[in-house]
Amino acid sequence: MTKWVYSFGEGKAEGRADMKNLLGGKGANLAEMSNLGLPVPPGFTITTEVCTWFYANGKQYPAELQGEVAAALASVERIVGTKFGDPDNPLLVSVRSGARASMPGMMDTVLNLGLTDVTVAGLARRSGDARFAYDSYRRFIQMFGNVVLGVDHHHFEDVLEEVKRDRGLSYDTELKAEDWQSVIAGYKQVVENELGRPFPQDPQEQLWGAIGAVFSSWMNQRAITYRKLHDIPASWGTAVNVQAMVFGNMGDDCATGVAFTRNPSTGENLFYGEYLINAQGEDVVAGIRTPQHLTIAGKDANGSTLPAMEESMPEVFRQLDEVRLKLERHYRDMQDIEFTVQQSKLYMLQTRTGKRTAAAALKIAVDMVGEGLISEKEGVLRIEPKSLDQLLHPTLDPKAKRTIIAKGLPASPGAASGKVVFTAEEAEKAAEHGEAVILCRVETSPEDIHGMHAAQGILTTRGGMTSHAAVVARGMGRPCVAGAGELRIDYKRGTITVRGVEVKAGDVVTIDGSTGEVMLGEVPTIQPELSGNFAELMGWADRFRRMKVRTNAETPLDARTARKFGAEGIGLCRTEHMFFDADRIIAVREMILADTEGGRRAALAKIAPMQRQDFVELFKIMKGLPVTIRLLDPPLHEFLPNSDAEMAEVAKAAGTDIQKVQHRAVQLHEANPMLGHRGCRLGISYPEIYEMQARAIFEAAVAVFKETGETVTPEIMIPLAGTKKELDILKAVIDRVAGEVAQASGHTVDYLVGTMIELPRAALQAGQIAQTAEFFSFGTNDLTQTTFGISRDDAGSFLPDYQRAGIFEHDPFVTLDTEGVGELVKIAAERGRNTRGDIKLGICGEHGGDPSSIYFCEKVGLDYVSCSPYRVPIARLAAAQAAILGEQAASEA
């Protein structure tokens, strides 16, 4: 028989940490903490299987559930020594959702459940604190009314404001028991008005209402959207956790707080957290009161004047610190914990793997390897490859002048400048126009996430290091300054003011999420240092990976950047990109527009010396590492002149008249340039172009050899081939030129000739093509275009519809479609290898820098991936993870 309910408490539990699929993350960890003997209030978890059952059976529960819940509740009553619904000594519980992965958008928490008009009096007597009891009851009505009954927040807020106004009070803390009773009466009236029925007075009805609300929230729109964005299947379901209440708001010997076992911003091995005295759960994250630091060090570092827990509750702090060490040793990872102190007794309410910045993740991984907690391979697996992006970006130039107008909390590191906007919508709109913006809010909420994503940085005036803005920004890798309380934001007027300074919407500000500083105007930045933990971890990654990582680069700057980031050669040098410069493009246009071979050769002669010099520089920077040079592949529309002025310029350079140029441009115009006269088709029509390029390559290799003694082995790559014939013809041109250069220079250059695999035909004919090609590089941009039959240039107009409709989970131009395009890659790799055992295989489409695509490349056994310079470290790490995971899978099989 299926077991639907798992109990925990009294130092034992029916569940375990490895039962996340069944108990959800929160439930599994509550069980694990109980088993570890940590002080966890007793409770039980209703499994995710109930959620699945619920949806499969018309929102009913399995017949046994009622009995199992009753038995588990009785066990909680026995442990705590109270009774659910008892007028004298009532048990109160919290009800929380808890899926496998933490999931914002679902019902979060109902606290103080079990309070009624009757039991509240019992609580008042037992606690000896009527104010506390009635405050708890009104919180319950508000939470339950909102999340379970669906009554809008503002109704409750209006009532509270009215009572405060009537009594002339400004702060919640000034309300007495009688005041809260008036609030309660008002709240109950709100519920009755809104729903046409009274607030439920039966604790069982409350409990089942809350359980039903959790399960129902699994299918609300926000949860569905979140699941879609994060690849979480609906079939997982959520669990429900019911747990005895403990109170952090029963007086000054009570508190509630959240903490990280290490600093989540820097990774330092220092206890890091915040607490509030005499407060309940959500008060800490709500950002309404300013939280206090746990440690004296934390307090000093943040210039806080409020006492640290280490000072105000030294004994409890000592216990909490012990719990911290125990949890870290047990989980072998940084934990994010929630706790409550009730009358000087510590209770643990949650532990989970803590979210952290990329810098912190690196430091924690490297430190934990050093501490012997994890292996180097585990360390490498701990870092999300994409998160490295956060470290590769600029920080403020320390020498730059700055006009600091305020200092908030350093909530998420990195520096950003941009125009001030006040709403998520404005941020998104500005981002669409390519404008950099800083989203400035009093505080943020889940509705703002799209704007936070669109913004370069986030600034809030309220809330702590664990506020919504801080947590979300860190997760996204956006710089964030939170809780800059001196700033006054006036949404209506569209201004931020501080001590006589006024910043208006659209003015540029700079924030430094590493220091918390807010500055006027744009402040210059400098490039990051890639030493220390970064270098150490990347060193391990390099040891564990099998695939090489090259870069797509054609300029000396890109090539140097990529080398600095650890590129092991160039996997794609797009020669047409070498001609975008204003002074070169005229010669290229002249070449393209020439209508005779003679005309083309004249233009090519102008280009040749520049091209040779380009290759000399690249070869020198790459110091003997492989350099793959792709012969010209210009989609013509990117190069044809548009305006009359441009036409005139070309005509002048070619010594011809503008009409002729215009006529030729019309002739060359294509309806589908992405599938037109590009790639090797151009080489077939005009072999003199590839001839010039081949000559420039060989002459550059000879020149570098003669100057530096460095042997260069160029890999010459022919684009967009679909047949062996194309390659045979063009390889013959290259071989001839190689011979000519060798003869003229007296130096023979070793080289390879290969092709890009960008067409389905090429993939299928890979066996034949490999008879000529000595290497393949998968051009998955074009291969995706040609496999799907979706134009790279036009996809933007309908791809979003495809993603919304769930046809594409990801943009296939970003993440490789492993099923279709990947199948072609696999076929080509196999057939190529069958023909030529040592054929070199690589990828140079955008997917070469995308971690999940890189995992696929490892699976099909490519020799290298090639990506843009800034993604090189990401690719190195992803390749290492792919190798480690592959090895683990193989040893398990």
Binding partner selected for residue 428 from ligand PEP, Mg ion, none, CB under the kind-specific 5 to 8 Å limit: none
Phi, psi of 477 (to 5 degrees): 75, 25
Residue 162 or 793 with smaller CB distance to ligand PEP: 793
Q: Residue 379: in which H helix or E strand, if any?
A: helix 376-381
Partners of residue 350 on adjacent β-strands: 338
Binding partner selected for residue 572 from Mg ion, ligand PEP, none, CB under the kind-specific 5 to 8 Å limit: ligand PEP
Residue 758 or 858 with smaller CB distance to Mg ion: 758
Instruction: Please identify the residue of the shown chain whose CB is closest to the bound Mg ion.
Output: 782
Q: Give min distance, CB of 229 to ligand PEP, in A.
A: 26
Q: Which region holds residue 414: left if phi is over 0, alpha if psi is between -120 and 50, else beta?
A: left
Choose which of 782, 850, 858, 863 interacts with ligand PEP (CB under 6 A). 782
List the 272-277 sheet strands across, edge first: 292-293, 272-277, 255-260, 335-342, 345-353
Choose which of 30, 753, 844, 860 interacts with ligand PEP (CB under 6 A). 844
Strands 864-867 and 840-843, bridge-based pairing:
parallel
Binding partner selected for residue 780 from ligand PEP, Mg ion, none, CB under the kind-specific 5 to 8 Å limit: ligand PEP
Q: Residue 876: in which H helix or E strand, if any?
A: helix 872-892
Distance CA 548, CA 550 (A): 7
Residue 513 or 714 with smaller CB distance to ligand PEP: 714
Could you say whether residue 781 binds ligand PEP (CB under 6 A)? yes
Q: Which positions from 565 to 584 touch ligand PEP by CB under 6 A, shown as an x/- string?
A: -------x-x----------
Q: Give min distance, CB of 633 to ligand PEP, in A.
A: 6
- Select from 210-218, 521-529, 752-760, 864-872 the region that touches Mg ion (CB under 5 A): 752-760
Binding partner selected for residue 884 from ligand PEP, Mg ion, none, CB under the kind-specific 5 to 8 Å limit: none
CA angle at 802 for the pair 798 and 807, rounded to the nearest 5°: 155
**Residues 404-463 interacting with ligand PEP (rule: CB under 6 A):** none
Q: Which stretches within 89-202 are classed as H helix?
A: 119-127, 130-143, 153-167, 177-195
Distance CA 479, CA 458 (A): 6
Q: Residue 780: in which H helix or E strand, if any?
A: helix 780-788
Binding partner selected for residue 561 from ligand PEP, Mg ion, none, CB under the kind-specific 5 to 8 Å limit: none
SS3 32: helix
Q: Residue 457: in which H helix or E strand, if any?
A: strand 457-460
**Binding-site residue set:** 574, 630, 758, 779-782
3 state SS for 549-616: EEEECCCHHHHHHHHHCCCCCEEEEEHHHHHCCHHHHHHHHHHHHCCCHHHHHHHHHHHHHHHHHHHH
Q: Give min distance, CB of 636 to Mg ion, in A.
A: 14
- Select from 89-97, 200-208, 523-531, 780-788 the region that touches ligand PEP (CB under 6 A): 780-788
Centre a 10 Å sphere on the Cβ of residue 841 and count the other Cβ atoms it contains.
23
Could you say whether residue 758 binds ligand PEP (CB under 6 A)? yes
The closest alpha carbon to 440, from 394, 503, 500, 396, belongs to 503
Number of residues written out for the chain: 893
Count of residues interacting with ligand PEP (CB under 6 A): 10
Residue 356 or 574 with smaller CB distance to ligand PEP: 574
Q: Give min distance, CB of 782 to ligand PEP, in A.
A: 3
- Select from 151-159, 317-325, 773-781, 813-821 the region that touches ligand PEP (CB under 6 A): 773-781
Could you say whether residue 845 binds ligand PEP (CB under 6 A)? yes
- Select from 418-426, 473-481, 727-735, 779-787 the region that touches ligand PEP (CB under 6 A): 779-787
Choose which of 780, 786, 818, 868 interacts with ligand PEP (CB under 6 A). 780
- Select from 173-181, 355-363, 778-786, 808-816 the region that touches ligand PEP (CB under 6 A): 778-786
The token pair at 8 is: 């925990």
Q: Which stretches within 36-99 are classed as H helix?
A: 48-56, 65-80
Catalytic member of 254, 844, 857, 867: 844
Binding partner selected for residue 679 from ligand PEP, Mg ion, none, CB under the kind-specific 5 to 8 Å limit: none
Residue 142 or 575 with smaller CB distance to Mg ion: 575
* Contact yes or no for 433/414 (Cβ under 8 A): no
Q: Give min distance, CB of 680 to ligand PEP, in A.
A: 12
Q: Please report the DSSP string for 418-456 in residue order.
A: EEEE-SHHHHHHHHHTT--EEEEESS--GGGHHHHHHSS
- CB-based contacts of 515, cutoff 8 Å, min separation 6: 407, 410
Q: Give min distance, CB of 676 to ligand PEP, in A.
A: 13
- Select from 29-37, 303-311, 439-447, 775-783 the region that touches ligand PEP (CB under 6 A): 775-783
Largest CA distance in the chain: 104
SS3 504: strand
The closest alpha carbon to 855, from 628, 534, 542, 546, belongs to 546
* Contact yes or no for 606/594 (Cβ under 8 A): no
Strands 43-46 and 238-244, bridge-based pairing:
antiparallel
**Binding-site residue set for Mg(2+):** 758, 782
The token pair at 522 is: 């744009």
Distance CA 608, CA 172 (A): 78
- Select from 195-203, 373-381, 419-427, 774-782 the region that touches ligand PEP (CB under 6 A): 774-782
Centre a 10 Å sphere on the Cβ of residue 771 and count the other Cβ atoms it contains.
12
Q: Give min distance, CB of 826 to Mg ion, in A.
A: 19
Q: Which positions from 793 to 832 touch ligand PEP by CB under 6 A, shown as an x/- string?
A: ----------------------------------------
Residue 266 or 781 with smaller CB distance to ligand PEP: 781
Active site residue 844: yes
The closest alpha carbon to 468, from 505, 496, 439, 488, belongs to 439
Distance CA 792, CA 817 (A): 15
Q: Give min distance, CB of 844 to ligand PEP, in A.
A: 5
Binding partner selected for residue 351 from ligand PEP, Mg ion, none, CB under the kind-specific 5 to 8 Å limit: none
Binding partner selected for residue 844 from Mg ion, ligand PEP, none, CB under the kind-specific 5 to 8 Å limit: ligand PEP
- Select from 63-71, 259-267, 396-404, 755-763 the region that touches Mg ion (CB under 5 A): 755-763
Active site residue 51: no
Catalytic member of 155, 468, 577, 847: 468
Residue 289 or 677 with smaller CB distance to Mg ion: 677
Q: Give min distance, CB of 729 to ligand PEP, in A.
A: 21
**Residues 626-655 interacting with ligand PEP (rule: CB under 6 A):** 633
The token pair at 25 is: 């993350």
**Residues 758-787 interacting with Mg ion (rule: CB under 5 A):** 758, 779, 782
* Contact yes or no for 831/766 (Cβ under 8 A): yes
**Binding-site residue set for substrate:** 574, 630, 758, 779-782
Q: Give min distance, CB of 588 to Mg ion, in A.
A: 18
Q: Give min distance, CB of 573 to ligand PEP, in A.
A: 11
Residue 566 or 845 with smaller CB distance to ligand PEP: 845
The closest alpha carbon to 552, from 232, 85, 866, belongs to 866
Q: How many Å is the Cα radius of gyration of the chain?
A: 33
Residue 32 or 758 with smaller CB distance to Mg ion: 758
Residue 257 or 822 with smaller CB distance to ligand PEP: 822
Residue 34 or 780 with smaller CB distance to ligand PEP: 780
The residues binding ligand PEP (CB under 6 A) are 572, 574, 633, 758, 779-782, 844-845
The residues binding Mg ion (CB under 5 A) are 758, 779, 782
Residues tagged active-site = 468, 844
